[in-house]
Amino acid sequence: MKYVYSFSKKHVEGDRGMKELLGGKGANLAEMATLGLPVPPGFTCSTEACDAYYKVGKAKLSAAMKPEIDAALEQLEEVTGKTFGKGPNPLLLSVRSGAAVSMPGMMDTVLNLGLTPTTIKALIASSGDERFVLDSYRRFIQMFGNVVMGVDHHDFEHELDAVKKARRAKLDTDLTVDGLKDVIDRYLKVYKRATGKPFPTSPKEQLMAGIDAVFGSWNNPRAIRYRELNDIRGLLGTAVNVQTMVFGNSGPDSATGVAFTRDPSTGEHKYFYGEYLINAQGEDVVAGIRTPQQITLKGSREWAKSQGVSETDRKANYPSLEESMPKAFQELDRIRVRLEKHYKDMQDLEFTIENGELFILQTRNGKRTAQAAVKIATDLVKEKRIPEREAVLRIDPASLDQLLHPVFVKASEDAAQQIAIGLPASPGAATGQVVFTADEAEAWVAKGKQVILCRTETSPEDIGGMDAAAGVLTSRGGMTSHAAVVARQMGTCCVAGVADVNINYKTKRFTCGGVTVKEGDWISLNGSTGAVYKGQIETVEPGLTGPFGTIMKLADKYRKLGVRTNADTPHDTATAVKFGAEGIGLCRTEHMFFEGDRIVSFRRLILVAETVKKLREDCGIEDLTALQKAVGKDVKAVESIKQYKQALRELLPLQRKDFVGIFKALKGRPATIRLLDPPLHEFLPQDAAGQKEMAETMGVKPSEIKRLVESLHEFNPMLGHRGCRLGMTYPDVTAMQTRAVCEAAAAVKGSKPEIMIPLVGNVKELANQKEIVKRTIAEVEAKKGVKLSILIGTMIEVPRAAVTAGEIAEEAEFFSFGTNDLTQMGCGFSRDDAGKFLKDYVAMGIYEKDPFQVLDQAGVGKLVEMATVNGRKARKDLKVGICGEHGGEPSSVAFCHKVGLDYVSCSPYRVPIARLAAAQAAIRS
Ligand code: PEP
Ligand code: MG
C-alpha cells in the first residue's frame, strides 16, 4: 500500500478530491501546489497509514512507511536545495495533523523539527541570526517534549518564567541569546528528567516519533470528545502533513496570520478579514497570547474604533498588514481572490511571511456561523458563482437552529449597564450566571442553571463547558482564537478578547473598570456587537428575514414535502406559522387539560368514568339523563353521573376556546387534532395533598380518591389504557372533543380541522371511533346549520397498524406516522426507560444513532414504507405524514421524501430545518 504523497511545484500526487485519503489540509496543499501558489513543499502520510497505525501497531507501520518517507525526503531536499539534518542549509520540517473533516486544535502539531546541535550551528551560520535559531530550538524542545513524549507543558513554562524573572525579561521576545541558552539548558534537563532519555539528536528519529505522535493524537480524549460533539464518524483517522518550515518569527519583516475571504461571523465581504502577528510563529495568532493585528487598513480602523484605540496608537502599535508589508499584502489579496474563485466558497487561509516572502500554509472552506453560511450562500448566488440548488445544499439544516436563537430586546439592551466591549466573535445574545471553569459550566447547567463561561482564554479541554454555556467571554485572543472558532461552530454566543476584564480564578471574580463581578452574578453578552453588560437582559425570538428568508424561499421552491408543525397552543402555532409551517400535523389535546383549573375538571371526569361505565352496562342505558333517572334513589350513583356530566360540561367550552385560538392562528391552514392519547393515571393526583384537594372538590373522602387512583394504576402504562382505547371505553370523551373541534370550526371561518384517532392497532378500533366522530359532526352540523368538511384519519404507531395498513386505509382518510411509539413498539424500547442503555447501544454501534432521535430506517422505516405503499393501494388519495420527533430531523426528513410522504410535522423551531432538509432531499434525488 502507498502511504506517502508528495506535493511541491515539481511533483504533486494529490488533489482536492482526495480528502478522505490525504485529509482536508493535505488535499488542499496538493491542489494549491498544482495551482502554482507559494506552498512550502512537503508530503502527506495518508489516513490509511493512520488506520494501519491502530490496526498493526506503530512499529510495523513505521517499517512499512520508512522507505517511502526516505524517498519523499530526498525529493524534498532536491526541490528546496536544503538537507535534512545537515548544513550548510538545513531542512527543517513541520509535522501537522489533518483529518478529512477539520477539527481545529484537537490534534497535535510539532514545528521546527530537524533541529540538532549540528543543524543549529549550520543554521546560525546561514541565517546569521543566533537568537532566532535558539528561540526556534527552545520552542521545538517544548513542543516535541509535550506532544511526542507527554512531558507536562507547565514544567517547561515554569523554567521559562524562572529565566525571564531572573533576567528581568517581560516578554519572551525580551530574552537575549544568553537567556535563551539558559532556557534551552533547563528545557533539556526537564526533558531528560521526565523521559529518562536525552533529547533526540537524530532528525529521522525526531521525524518518525513526530509522525507517530500525530497519529496517536487522533484518539486523545479531546479529539474523541470533539468527534462525538460534532457527530464526526466513519473516518479512517488523521493524515500527517510534513512540510518545509517557513519562519514567521525570523525578524521584523516576517509574520504569520490567519485570514478569511469573507467574514466568518456575519458572511459580509466588505473587506478581507483576518489577523496577523509580526515576528511570530505557528500557534501564536490562534493562542491568543498577543493581540493580533488586522490584515486590511479598513479592518484595522474598524477594530481600533471598537476597542477604543486611537488612530495614532493603532498606527504605531497595531498597523494593518496592508500598511506594514504592502507587497506581501497585495500578493495575499490576489491569492484570496484566486482561491475563492477556484473553490467557489469562503476560504480560511493560513499564511506566513518569511523575510518578506509570502507562503500559504493552508486553505479550506472556512468554518462559519449559520448566519454567515446563509449570507455567503445567497451572496454567491447573486454573484453568479453558484446555482440556487448549490446554495440550498451548502447550508447544514441543523445549523439553522442558531439563527432561531434569541436576540436582545432593543429597549432592554439600551437600558442595560454596559461594562466592557470585546470582539463580536460568535453572534446571538446570551444572558447567564458567571462561572469560571468549563467543569463548573457543565455542573451548573446540569442543575438547570444558565451560565456564561468566563476565561482568560479557552483551550480544547473546555469544549464541554463551552457547549453547555449560554455564552462565552474571554479576556484575551482575537477572532480566530480557540474560543471564537469553536463557539462559532457550536452556535454559542461568544465575546472574545475583552481586554478590560481581569479574571482572578482564585477569588472567582473578575473586575472591569470599577465593576466587580463574582461567580453566580448575572451578565449578558451580545455576540454580534461584542458588548458585555451587567445583569440580565430580556431576549426576543428572531424572524425569518434577510438572507435567511432568501434561503427559506429557495428551499420552498425546491422541496416536494409539505412541512407542518406539532403545536397545541395558539402561541406555538403562531410561532410555527412565522417559521413557515403550512399547518398543524399534530395537536396533542391532552396538553390542554393541564392548564389552570382544567385539571380539576378532567380529574373529576376520570375518577367517575369507570363507575358511570359500569352503571351503563348494568342498566343497558347509554343516554346519561335517562341513566340518571333509571338509577333513581341510589345517591352515590346519581352523584357520579352528575359529576361526570359536570366535567364534560366544563371541559367542552375550554377545549372549544383552545381550538378557536389555534384555528385563528392558522389563518385557513389545516390542523390535525389528535384525540386524547396518554394513560389516564398521568393526570391523577398521586400525592396525598393533591388527593385531599380533589376529595374536597368532589365532596368525598380522601381515602376514596386514593382508592380510585390506585385502581387506575397500570404496570405498563405506555402499552396500557391509552390512545383510542380510552375513547373505546369512554366514548363521551371522543364525542366531547369532536364537538369542541366542530363548534370551533363552525365559529372560525376557513378553518380546516382533521380529526386523528391515536394508537389504532386494529381497523375495528378505528371504525368504532370514526362512527362516534361522524355522528358528532352530523349533530353539530344540524344544530349550527353548517356544513363541515372534516377529514378523519389515524396515527400509525402500532406495528400491527403498519402491517395491516391496507385494511386501515379503508377507514382512514389520512395516516400520520407516530414514529415515537412506532419506534417504541417496533424496536421494543420503552420510551421511558431506554435512555439508560441506548447511549451504550450507540457507543457499541448496535444502532448508529439513538432511534428515538434519528429514524431507524432499516427497521421502523421499513414499517413506514410498507404502510404507505399498502395504504395508498387501498385508498389512492390517502394523505400521509409523520408527526413523531423524527419529522424535524434532517436525515429522517430525507427518508420521508424518499418514501413519498406528503408532509412532515415537527416542533415550531424545527420547521425551518425541516423545510431546508426537505429541499436538500429533493435536490439530491
Ligand atoms: C408518536 O408516537 O410518534 C407521537 C407523535 O405521539 P406521542 O409522542 O404523543 O405519543
Ligand atoms: Mg404516540
Convert the pLDDT of each residue in 683-712 to its tens digit.
Answer: 888 889 889 988 998 888 999 899 989 988
Predicted structure pTM score: 0.81
The pLDDT tens digits for 295-335 are: 999 999 988 988 889 999 999 999 999 999 999 999 999 99
Task: Write 160-168 long-range contacts (CB < 8 A, 24+).
Answer: 162/186
Burial status of residue 685 (CB atoms within 10 A of its CB: 0-12, 13-18, 19 or more): buried
Amino acid in position 81: G
Q: What is the pLDDT of residues 596-625, one digit of tens each?
A: 678 889 999 998 999 999 999 999 999 999
Choice among 45, 50, 454, 482 that is catalytic: 482
pLDDT at site 528: 81
pLDDT score recorded for residue 289: 65
Higher pLDDT, 491 or 62: 62
Distance (Å) from CA 836 to ligand 2 centroid? 20
**Contact of 627 with 619, CB cutoff 8 Å:** yes
For residue 588, the CA-to-ligand 1 centroid distance in Å is 9
pLDDT in tens, 747-792: 999 999 999 999 999 999 999 999 999 999 999 999 999 999 999 9
Query: pLDDT (tens digit, 9 = 90+) per residue, 561-592?
Result: 999 999 988 988 998 999 999 999 999 998 77
Ligand 1 center–CA 673 separation, angstroms = 13
CA 885 to ligand 1: nearest atom: 3
Top mutation candidate among 564, 566, 588 for ligand 1, by most atoms within 8 Å of CB = 588
CB 523 within 8 A of CB 532: yes
Ligand nearest to the CA of 590: 1
Contact of 591 with 617, CB cutoff 8 Å: no
* Gap from CA of 823 to ligand 1 centroid (Å): 10
**Ligand lying closest to the C-alpha of residue 881:** 1
The mean pLDDT of 445-470, rounded to a whole number, is 89
Q: How far is CA 306 from CA 54, 311, 314, 529, 532, in A?
A: 49, 12, 12, 9, 13
Contact 139, 111 (CB under 8 A): yes
Residue 212 has pLDDT above 90, yes or no: yes
Q: If DSSP codes are grouped into helix, strand and coil, which group holds residue 259?
A: strand
Tell me the β-bridge partners of 353: 255, 358
Q: Any idea what the Cα angle at residue 502 is, between residues 499 and 504, rounded to 5°?
A: 150
Q: How far is the CA of 364 from the centre of ligand 2 (A)?
A: 45
- Count, in order, helices (H) and strands (E) of the chain: 37, 33
| pLDDT tens, position by position, 825-874 | 999 998 878 877 888 898 898 998 889 989 999 999 999 999 999 999 99
pLDDT tens by residue, 107-135? 788 999 999 999 999 999 988 889 989 99
Is 70 exceeded by the pLDDT of residue 287?
Answer: no
Cα–Cα distance for residue pair 860/888, rounded to 1 Å: 16
Residue 30: count other Cβ atoms within 10 Å of its Cβ. 26
Distance of CA 823 to the CA centre of its chain: 24
pLDDT at 738 over 90: yes
Give residue 675 CA to ligand 2 midpoint distance, Å. 11
Which percentage of the chain shows pLDDT scores above 90? 74
- Length of the chain in terms of residues written: 925
Q: How confident is the model at residue 491, as a pLDDT? A: 67
Q: What is the dihedral of CA 280, 285, 289, 293, to 10 degrees?
A: 90
Q: Find the ligand nearest to 589 CA.
A: 1
Q: How confident is the model at residue 284 (pLDDT cuts 50, 70, 90)?
A: low
Q: Which three cell numbers stand for residue 752?
A: 380546516
To test ligand 1's pocket by mutation, which of 568, 586, 594, 817 has the most ligand atoms within 8 angstroms of CB? Answer: 586
Among residues 276, 295, 343, 493, the alpha carbon closest in space to that of 405 is found at 493
How far apart (Å, rounded) are the C-alpha atoms in residues 235 and 250?
A: 37
Distance from Cα 616 to the centre of ligand 2, integer Å: 30
Residues 282-307 have a mean pLDDT of 82
User: What span, in angstroms and rounded, lies between the C-alpha atoms of 163 and 404?
Assistant: 51
Three cell numbers, residue 410: 432593543
Q: What is the 3-state secondary structure (H, E, C) of 194-226?
A: HHCCCCCCCHHHHHHHHHHHHHHHCCCHHHHHH
Question: Which phi and psi (to 5°) does residue 351 adopt?
Answer: -135, 160
- How much is the pLDDT for 773? 98
* DSSP-derived secondary structure letter, 845: T
The pLDDT, as a whole number, for residue 907 is: 85
Buried b / exposed e across 76-88, counting CB within 10 Å, b at 16+? bbeebebbbbbbe
Q: What are phi and psi of 540, to 5 degrees?
A: -130, 160
Over residues 809-839, the pLDDT tens digits come to: 999 999 999 999 999 999 999 887 887 788 8
Q: In degrees rounded to 5, what are phi and psi of residue 452?
A: -115, 125
- Give whole-number Cα distances, 657 to 592, 678, 898, in Å: 11, 22, 39
Q: Give the pLDDT of residue 285.
A: 63
- Rounded to 5, what percent of the chain is helix, strand, coil? 55, 15, 30
Backbone angles phi, psi at 356, to 5 degrees: 85, -10
Q: Which ligand is in closest contact with the Cα of 759? A: 2
Cβ–Cβ < 8 Å for 811, 757: no
Q: Which three cell numbers, joined as nine digits, stand for 525?
A: 453578552
Q: What local confidence, expressed as pLDDT, does residue 282 receive?
A: 66
Question: Which atom of ligand 1 is nearest to 883's Cα?
Answer: 5
For the cut 90, the answer to whether the pLDDT of residue 232 exceeds it is no
Single-letter amino acid code for the residue at 3: Y
Is residue 883 part of the annotated active site? The answer reads yes
Place of cell 467574514: 263
Q: Which residue has the cell 517581560?
A: 170
Q: Which residue has its alpha carbon closest to ligand 1 atom 6?
A: 818
Q: Whose CA is nearest to atom 1 of ligand 1?
A: 818
Question: Whole-angstrom Cα distance, residue 206 to residue 185?
Answer: 19
Sheet order of strands, 255-260 included:
293-294, 273-278, 255-260, 347-354, 357-365
Peptide bond into 685 cis (omega under 30): no
* CA dihedral for 490, 495, 497, 502, sign (positive or negative): negative
57 CB-contact burial (10 Å; exposed 0-12 / middle 13-18 / buried 19+): exposed
Residue 593 reports pLDDT greater than 70 = yes
Q: What is the DSSP letter of 547?
A: H
Rounding to the nearest 10 degrees, give the CA dihedral for residues 27, 31, 33, 34.
140
pLDDT for residue 839: 83
The torsion defined by the Cα of 44, 255, 485 and 47, in degrees rounded to 10, comes to 0
Q: Is 482 a catalytic residue?
A: yes
The alpha carbons of the chain give a radius of gyration, in whole angstroms, of 34
Closest ligand to residue 588's CA: 1
**Mean pLDDT score of the chain:** 92
In sign, the C-alpha dihedral spanning 894, 900, 903, 907 is negative
Give the per-residue pLDDT at 480.
64
Ligand 1 pocket list (CB less than 6 A): 586, 588, 677, 797, 818-821, 883-884
DSSP 675: P
Q: pLDDT, tens digit, for every residue of 517-545? A: 999 999 999 988 889 999 999 988 777 88
Question: What DSSP letter does each residue of 7-40 carry, written as one string?
Answer: ESSS-B---GGGHHHHHHHHHHHHHHHHTT--PP
Cα(26)–Cα(241) distance, rounded to whole angstroms? Answer: 6
Q: Stretch 679-683: mean pLDDT, rounded? A: 82
Closest C-alpha residue for ligand 1 atom 9: 588
Residues 6+ apart with CB under 8 A from 95: 109, 110, 111, 113, 207, 210, 211, 213, 214, 240, 241, 242
**Do strands 515-518 and 238-244 pair parallel, antiparallel, or not at all (unpaired)?**
unpaired
Query: What is the pLDDT averaged over residues 195-208?
Result: 96
Q: Do 16 and 26 form a contact (C-beta atoms < 8 A)?
A: no
Cell numbers linked to 235? 473516518
Ligand 1: distance of its center to the CA of 874 in Å?
25
Residue nearest to atom 3 of ligand 1 (CA): 818
d(Cα 870, Cα 877) in Å, to the nearest integer?
A: 12
Could you identify the atom of ligand 1 that is nearest to the CA of residue 824? 2
Look up residue 234 and give its DSSP letter: S
